[in-house]
Amino acid sequence: NPDILICGLWGGDYVAFYKQALRYGLFDKMKVATTLAFGGPPHTIGKDHPEGVLAGVHANYFFQHPAKGLWPANDGFVQRYQKRWNEYPSFESDGAYAALYLLKAAVEKANHLVGGWPEDDVIISMLEGMGMDTPAGYLYIRPDNHQGYKDTVIGMTKNDPKYDFPIWDPTSIITIPIRDITAPANWPKPGHGHNESTAAADWIKKTWPQPA
């Protein structure tokens, strides 16, 4: 009789899970927290999805956040996307959009410096350390690993008559700064002073408060 179920499924796998869980009454028996319940196009989750489920999102993007009126980059993106495709954008939409504009900015910057179409290594050097306002928020490309970093966001599911699918309860949305959950670039890798699976695992073990 667990108090809570942690679910890491996403996309079609999560849809299959929650549909089956409804039939078994699982949501009535325990709390459910997910890493990626909203990890696919918003309309793939039905109104039959229960409220009050902790719902994570893939790549830290859900069209509802940042909230309307607070972040122009998302306001315009959602409006244009919804008008063109008659649906709301997913994390893939945000990722593709951001990637193209990052590449555009890097190529233009490199072109200004060297003239003509730049070589790949020059474009890469322009991307290293680049930051950009994207629909999901501020995105930073870390020079040491070329990964894009942005704050983590999560919230509780809620049905709203304005939508044909569940959204986040606006009062429940939590944003966690990426610097609070990511090992610094200079943190030792496995085999260099520790044997944890990743640098992040060692950083968490050594710097996060330990439960009493």
Task: Show pLDDT as tens, one digit a residue, over the chain (212 residues).
Answer: 899 999 999 999 999 999 999 999 999 999 999 999 998 899 999 999 999 999 999 899 999 999 999 999 999 999 999 999 999 999 999 999 999 999 999 999 999 999 889 999 999 999 999 999 999 999 999 999 999 999 999 999 999 999 999 999 999 999 999 999 999 999 999 999 999 999 999 999 999 998 87
**Residues 73, 8, 194, CA angle at the centre, nearest 5°?**
95
Count of CB atoms situated within 10 Å of the CB of 110: 22
Residue 166 tokens read as 């569940």
What whole-number distance in Å separates Cα of residue 100 and Cα of residue 103? 5
Give the global pTM: 0.88
What are 184's two structure tokens? 């610094």
Name the strand (E) or helix (H) holding 73: helix 72-85
Alpha-carbon distances of 100 from 112, 124, 149, rounded to whole Å: 18, 14, 16
Please tell me the predicted confidence (pLDDT) of residue 211.
81
91-114 and 120-127 helices cross at what angle (nearest 10)?
120
* Rounded distance between C-alpha atoms, residue 165 and residue 45, angstroms: 6
- Give the chain's domains with CATH numbers: 4-181 (3.40.50)
- Please give the pLDDT value at position 126: 97
Contact status, residue 77 vs residue 94, Cβ threshold 8 Å:
yes
Task: Using alpha carbons, select from 7, 137, 116 the residue that is nearest to residue 59.
Answer: 137
Record the tokens describing residue 167, joined without a space.
């959204």
